[in-house]
Amino acid sequence: MNILVTGGAGFIGANFIFYMLEHHPEDRIVCVDKLTYAGNLSTLAPVMERENFRFVRADICDREAVYGLFEEERPDIVVNFAAESHVDRSIEDPGLFLQTNILGTAVMMDACRKYGVRRFHQVSTDEVYGDLPLDRPDLFFTESTPLHTSSPYSSSKASADLLALAYYRTYGLPVTLSRCSNNYGPYQFPEKLIPLMIANALNDKPLPVYGEGLNVRDWLYVEDHCRAIDLILRKGREGEVYNIGGHNEMRNIDIVKLICKALDKPESLITYVADRKGHDMRYAIDPAKIHGELGWLPTTMFAEGIQKTIQWYLDNRGWWENIISGEYQDYYEKMYGNR
């Protein structure tokens, strides 16, 4: 198959490309990425010379560029990872998120309709469900949980989800959709919790924790997520939503303390900062549907996955040290410097 992956120079998209090239070497992967701040071409260096891989720099909102690429490549499957994805940035600049996450998705689906793509898969997030109370550990997000967004980011993703399902119902576009819990693993941009804490701890810098750090997230090792998407592409039912969760719930503060311990750094580095606006308290996914229909379950528990992740950042300091200089450092100071 000829598979077009948008946002493939980002964290999850790149890991998906690595997974697919390893497990399906008979397929061809075309990666499209605008290379914004979170897209890093060096991430794709291990596969850039592969005969069955091609990288194209383009914006998914650029209809002419997208149609030209579809005309040239005629993809069988499109997997849409491309998105602005950081909540804090969406609070600072909502318009950018609406442009990429909604209008960009529409452009991609229009191209899929025009060129007869066999499957369009929209990669979404559990954040579209809002949050769950900390005192109800028995509650989980299911595919029928009402959408109840808290930020411009999650609102833009929910909008794209609804648009994708509308294209399935109205036009018959063969759509599938997945909503995942928090991913972690290699190549994650260091504005996210786990790589940020690892990088700061290694540099003996303060570890900024929102509020009291009591927010709970369901952590999913990125390779497990990639395996789930692969299953959905090959066996998932058109027009369906699949929740992908790790069954690895952890409080933010406990993760930060675990990282301190693993790196032999003092907990005195932890600094509590003013909480994020509209900060969701708990995310937790019930993956019963994807397990029952496709046989998927996460195979990497958090204790194993966090150690593998920490070791990767220790072994690849050059990758993330290049990122945390310059523009990102200016943004970091703006977000945490006065809190």
Active site residue 127: yes
Structure tokens at 19: 């997974």
Q: Which of 127, 131, 191, 230 is catalytic?
A: 127
Buried (b) or exposed (e) across 162-174, using 16+ Cβ within 10 A?
ebbbebbeeeebb
Using CA atoms, how far apart are residues 128 and 146, in angstroms rounded to an integer?
9
Beta-sheet strand order (sheet of 175-180): 53-57, 28-33, 2-6, 77-80, 119-125, 175-180, 241-244
Q: Give the DSSP H/E element, type plus range, for residue 262.
A: helix 252-262
In angstroms, rounded to a whole number, what is the distance separating the alpha carbons of residues 141 and 126?
8
- Cβ distance 248 to 183 under 8 Å? no
At residue 127, the 3 state secondary structure works out as helix
Q: Which of 59, 126, 218, 224 is catalytic?
A: 126
- Please name every residue paired with 77 in a beta bridge, in sequence order, or none if there are none: 3, 119
> Considering 33, 129, 153, 210, which one is annotated as catalytic?
153
- Is residue 56 helix, strand or coil? strand
Residue 49: CB partners within 8 Å, gap ≥ 6? none
- Assigned token pair, 193: 């919790």
Whole-Å CA distances, 162 to 91, 152, 159, 166: 22, 15, 5, 6
Round to whole Å and give the CA distance between 330 and 27.
40
Which residues are marked as active site? 126-127, 153
